[in-house]
Structure 1
Amino acid sequence: MTEISTMLIILAVTVAVFIWNKFPVEIVAIGVALVLYATGIISVDDAFAGFGSGTVVLIAALFVVAEAIDAAGITTWMGGLLVKYAGTSRPRLIILIMVFVAVVTAVISVNGAVAALLPMVVVLAVRLKREPAQLLMPMAIAAHAGSLLVLTGSPVNILILEAALMSTGQGIGFFEFALVGLPLLAGSIVIAVYLGPWLLPRRSPGSLPKDLSDLPDVLGGQYWPEEHDVARLFVPTGAVAVGKATKDVLPSASGSVHLLSIQNDAGKPLESPTVEAGTYLVVRGTALNISDFATDQGLTSTSEGHPNVTCGLVCKSFGVVEVLVTPRSNLIGTLAYPGMITESGSLVVLAHQRAGKSPTNRENPVKAGDTLLLQGTWRALDQHTHDHNVLLVDSPDAIRRQTVPLGPGTVPALTILAAMVVLLTTNLVPAPVAALLAAMAMVLTRVVGITHAHRSMSWTTLVLVAGMIPLSGAITKTGTADMLANGIVHLTGGGSPYLLLAGIFVVTAVLGQLISNTATALIIIPIALSVAAEAGISPLTVLMCVSVASAAALLTPIATPANMMIMHPAGYKFGDYWKFGIVVMALYLIVAVFLVPVFWPLN
């Protein structure tokens, strides 16, 4: 059996196993590399070369950058703008949602953008009494178009860039993808606005993502129904309260004000018998009583409405979580009371409830099933609440992302992102180096912690790309790409280059509905380059055609994780996707076949 015959069998089996979807895609990708080695088509070094590829390094670094942008609260801020300016007009709502998600996708990828904005769009739909099914499909479609706005929008773009550099020595600019991305986004918006009401289903959602945006108010009402305002008051030098015993400060307040904690400026609780200048008092009560108390004691803060009341439960640098005490927890039998500092010294207990009610005594032994409300810095909450003794009701990370727009890492995150874009645009350093520098800077400036940087990795994508790179190379090495290219040229008559582009688009788009569009690109790229060589057209033209076709993963929920994410919240069925997607797919075909050659000429 010839190498080409063996390669064709491996290629066919690979596609079939991907479509069968019974094995993890990582296993399939690595298995393909091992089979290629076992059949002697590639060496053992080539089989594992993908794991040391600059492409994989670049994608991994971009995952960290994307996580940092999200962690800084930038996506939450954008979601807040969406809620604020959307109004009740359906066209305006659709346009804003699609533009927002496209912009976010350009920075943090299709799946990251849809995951970040999905809860806000669903909540917005409920508030405006609209079916989520009418909004979520346009959101996902816009995310796919947004992946073609800049280089970082999709791993496929990076593969296209690498292929362009290898085949022509000429790269594709950071913003150059927008030449096709912007028309795709604009066209998708027009289709969604004017044809959406007829093409999109009206269904009741099967499940809704959790909305944590008003969690501080919900917790305040649950734990302190009558006096649920919580404030963090600064003690300046010369304040009346300075030097007083902590227990003697509060009784002088008018009304009922309760001290919950004394903290430093970073939100770390302090054990101090007296009130010291430069510290913060966390108190609860009514907003008016807290304001009067702050005035009496010479305390300062900067909250709107009540100038002496500042945020108490959730702020940029610290927040709260609820935990449930597990059966057989080591905490059972220990005392818990408001103001108590935990064993780590980094968290303070704000409240203790049993069966939804606060115990009558101040100090109460903890029992299984009790709920504790804990406050501390976001870093401390992350570090000290992942414990077998308690169960988190909502993770600190999820709470922070939905309640704290533009956190303390916003300025460094945007600065680093801008620097990375400059490096990628000017080609001062190779793309993997630019992305790695940005990822390292995000960690060193503490925009994102090293633990979250590790968690941000989509190992499925990284292993898939690394495992499939040997297959992509083997298709070219064995001459299989040339043979398949000859077949495509023969089938299309070899005359019109536009017919060739249409053939490449159809093959890529069909595969992209059934298997990962990243895997599809890795299979199609070498074949497309051979088609270009056979037909005498520019490699850049066919590569950008493949890029557009890979982004057209619109017809099935299994085409991308983003498509799957919206299925249950919208109540979609499998067949709902193609009705809207096929119209948008026609737009992608027109752009790939007729607009791409305008910007990347055929010759």
Structure 2
Amino acid sequence: MSHELITFLILIIAIILFFLEILPLPVTAMLVPISLSLTGILEPQDAFSYFGDRWVIVFLGMFIISGAMFKTGFANRIGDLTVKIAGNNGFMLLFLVMLVLGVMSAFLSNTGATAVFVPVVVAVCLRSGINSKKMLMPMAFASSLGGTLTVIGTPPNGIVNSVLNESAKYSELGFFEFSKVGIFIFIIGILYMVFFGYKLLPKESTDEKEAFEDFSQNLRTEKMWFALLIFIFVIISMATGIIDLQVAAMLGAMLTIITGCLTMNEAFNSVNWTTIFLFAGMLSMSQAIEDSGAADLIANQIVNVSVSPYIVLGILFITTALLTNFMSNTATAAIFAPIAINIAESMSVSPYPFMMAIAISASCCFLTPIATPPNTIVLGPAGYRFKDYFIAGWPLQVITFIVAMIIIPIFFPF
């Protein structure tokens, strides 16, 4: 059996196990690098190297910082203020959280913004008596939607510009050019979740909510200003790029311990290890799809049906979105961006609509908890199941596709 087929087989089996939840999610995720190693698709050192991936490090750091925000009472204070503004109105609260986080994600790392907002939203839910399951997934979706508004909002946008920059024929997309498409998707996506999507989310309560309540006992309110300063420092560092994302996140995490906001045990307990193992395990699939030749196989199939640029636009969007739901969106964009340029040149059309489709589809993926970093971050704190994402996310996935197919050719003609 060829390496391409073996890779696809491992991916399909993993998807089935994720949906059925026969095994714990981290176990299924870890079986992926194990299988890729045993079948010779990847070398073991490569398959398990993603525990050092930059986003895994960011997750670790931001979980600890989030723990400090709870333990010092900072998240609770923000929660009280938000509830005061929303007036315990679940509808208004959901809209406010999605709007604020979406705008933040346009200018900050959407991963970082989501991670630091989790304890704030959970605190809001505790204060207002709202089930956190109704809030955290819409929050993650809003973060991804907001990331489409600027070039720095999400990694795929930067990758698209990097690939364009490597070619002497094309100029990079401007800072707000992504918003020509992203603003429509952002507004419509929020309206969908606020008026309809939240109804598809689980209604039952979760043990994670109780865990957050326990974590908030015996607050160290005298350390709140330390937590606040650390939080501001990390956000500014991420926004300006003065310090790299993973360095800023981990430095902030260490400062919470040094300043006494958290003890070492509390820092370890604040990390959601399901998220860490799930993300690190599945990142190996990204490299496997590229190294095995599966990515080339997909590209060749797209070229073979390139009878119309509109059809290719749709195929690129759907293919990128589907793969991104099961591998790193950064890796997916890196794989398909150069493929899109080659296809555009072979058809003698502009590559910009294809590149925009890849940037949008790599960020707007809502079917699984591993589709984007924000999706992964909220998995553990809300106690979601794998299929919860599919149930609430598939209409939004279809909506983003339809909007993109209409808007992209208008602002980026072939």
| Alignment TM-score, normalising by the size of structure 1 | 0.50
Question: Take 2:207 and 2:35, find their aligned partners in 1: how far apart are those partners?
Answer: 41
How many residue pairs align between the two structures? 384
1:463: Cα distance to partner?
A: 1.9
1:528 alignment counterpart: 336
1:325 alignment counterpart: none
2:143 alignment counterpart: 146
Question: Take 2:13 and 2:143, find their aligned partners in 1: how far apart are those partners?
Answer: 32
Match of residue 546, structure 1, among 358, 361, 379: 361
Determine if contact 1:509/1:552 at 8 Å carries over to the other structure.
no
Sort the Cα spacing of 1:397 and 1:139 in 2 relative to 1 into closer, same or farther, 3 A. Answer: closer
Question: Take 1:399 and 1:112, find their aligned partners in 2: how far apart are those partners?
Answer: 14
Gaps of 5+ in 2: 167-171, 345-350, 370-374
1:427 alignment counterpart: 241
Gaps of 5+ in 1: 124-131, 213-392, 569-573
1:140: Cα distance to partner?
A: 3.8
Q: Which amino acid aligns with 1:477?
A: D
Provide, for residues 173-223 of structure 1, a one-character-per-residue CA deviation record: whole Å limited to 9, x for no partner: 999998877655543444466x45xx87699965588999xxxxxxxxxxx
Structural mapping, 1:6-405, within 5 Å: 6-87=6-87, 92=92, 95-96=95-96, 98-99=98-99, 106-108=113-115, 115-122=122-129, 137=134, 140-149=137-146, 160=156, 184=185, 186-191=187-192, 195-196=195-196, 397-399=215-217
Determine if contact 1:485/1:534 at 8 Å carries over to the other structure.
no
Question: Take 2:236 and 2:180, find their aligned partners in 1: how far apart are those partners?
Answer: 19
SS in 2 for 1:59: helix
Question: Take 1:409 and 1:173, find their aligned partners in 2: how far apart are those partners?
Answer: 42
Match of residue 503, structure 1, among 315, 325, 341: 315
Determine if contact 2:208/2:383 at 8 Å carries over to the other structure.
no
Determine if contact 1:68/1:442 at 8 Å carries over to the other structure.
yes
SS in 1 for 2:222: coil
1:357 alignment counterpart: none
Provide, for residues 498-521 of structure 1, a one-character-per-residue CA deviation record: whole Å limited to 9, x for no partner: 644543444565678xxxx56464
Sort the Cα spacing of 1:5 and 1:44 in 2 relative to 1 into closer, same or farther, 3 A. Answer: same
Q: Which amino acid aligns with 1:465?
A: F
Provide, for residues 93-125 of structure 1, a one-character-per-residue CA deviation record: whole Å limited to 9, x for no partner: 5534544676798342686565443333435xx
1:58: Cα distance to partner?
A: 2.5
Q: Which amino acid aligns with 1:146?
A: S
Q: Which amino acid aligns with 1:144?
A: F
Question: Take 2:401 and 2:332, find their aligned partners in 1: how far apart are those partners?
Answer: 16
Structure whose alpha-carbon radius of gyration is higher: 1
Match of residue 416, structure 1, among 226, 230, 233: 230
RMSD, aligned α-carbons:
5.0
- Structure 1 stretch displaced more, 461-470 or 585-594: 585-594
Question: Take 1:115 and 1:25, find their aligned partners in 2: how far apart are those partners?
Answer: 23
Determine if contact 2:98/2:190 at 8 Å carries over to the other structure.
yes
1:422: Cα distance to partner?
A: 3.0
Provide, for residues 540-576 of structure 1, a one-character-per-residue CA deviation record: whole Å limited to 9, x for no partner: 635532343324669xxxx8795898799xxxxx999
SS in 2 for 1:399: coil
2:169 alignment counterpart: none
Match of residue 451, structure 1, among 265, 279, 288: 265
Structure number with higher helix proportion:
2
> Is 1:589 the equivalent of 2:407?
no
Q: Which amino acid aligns with 2:257?
A: V
1:413: Cα distance to partner?
A: 2.4
1:87: Cα distance to partner?
A: 3.8
Match of residue 471, structure 1, among 277, 282, 285: 285
Provide, for residues 326-369 of structure 1, a one-character-per-residue CA deviation record: whole Å limited to 9, x for no partner: xxxxxxxxxxxxxxxxxxxxxxxxxxxxxxxxxxxxxxxxxxxx
Sort the Cα spacing of 1:505 and 1:443 in 2 relative to 1 into closer, same or farther, 3 A. Answer: farther
Q: Which amino acid aligns with 2:141?
A: H
Sort the Cα spacing of 1:142 and 1:71 in 2 relative to 1 into closer, same or farther, 3 A. Answer: same
Determine if contact 1:482/1:530 at 8 Å carries over to the other structure.
no
Sort the Cα spacing of 1:178 and 1:136 in 2 relative to 1 into closer, same or farther, 3 A. Answer: farther
Sort the Cα spacing of 1:169 and 1:140 in 2 relative to 1 into closer, same or farther, 3 A. Answer: same
Question: Take 2:259 and 2:79, find their aligned partners in 1: how far apart are those partners?
Answer: 25
Provide, for residues 211-255 of structure 1, a one-character-per-residue CA deviation record: whole Å limited to 9, x for no partner: 99xxxxxxxxxxxxxxxxxxxxxxxxxxxxxxxxxxxxxxxxxxx
1:481: Cα distance to partner?
A: 0.4
Provide, for residues 353-392 of structure 1, a one-character-per-residue CA deviation record: whole Å limited to 9, x for no partner: xxxxxxxxxxxxxxxxxxxxxxxxxxxxxxxxxxxxxxxx
1:33: Cα distance to partner?
A: 1.6
SS in 2 for 1:408: helix
Identity %: 24
Higher relative contact order (CA 8 A, sep 6+): 2
Question: Take 1:438 and 1:111, find their aligned partners in 2: how far apart are those partners?
Answer: 16
Question: Take 2:187 and 2:382, find their aligned partners in 1: how far apart are those partners?
Answer: 22
Q: Which amino acid aligns with 2:5?
A: S
Q: Which amino acid aligns with 2:356?
A: T
| Alignment TM-score, normalising by the size of structure 2 | 0.69
Determine if contact 2:118/2:136 at 8 Å carries over to the other structure.
no
Determine if contact 1:146/1:181 at 8 Å carries over to the other structure.
no
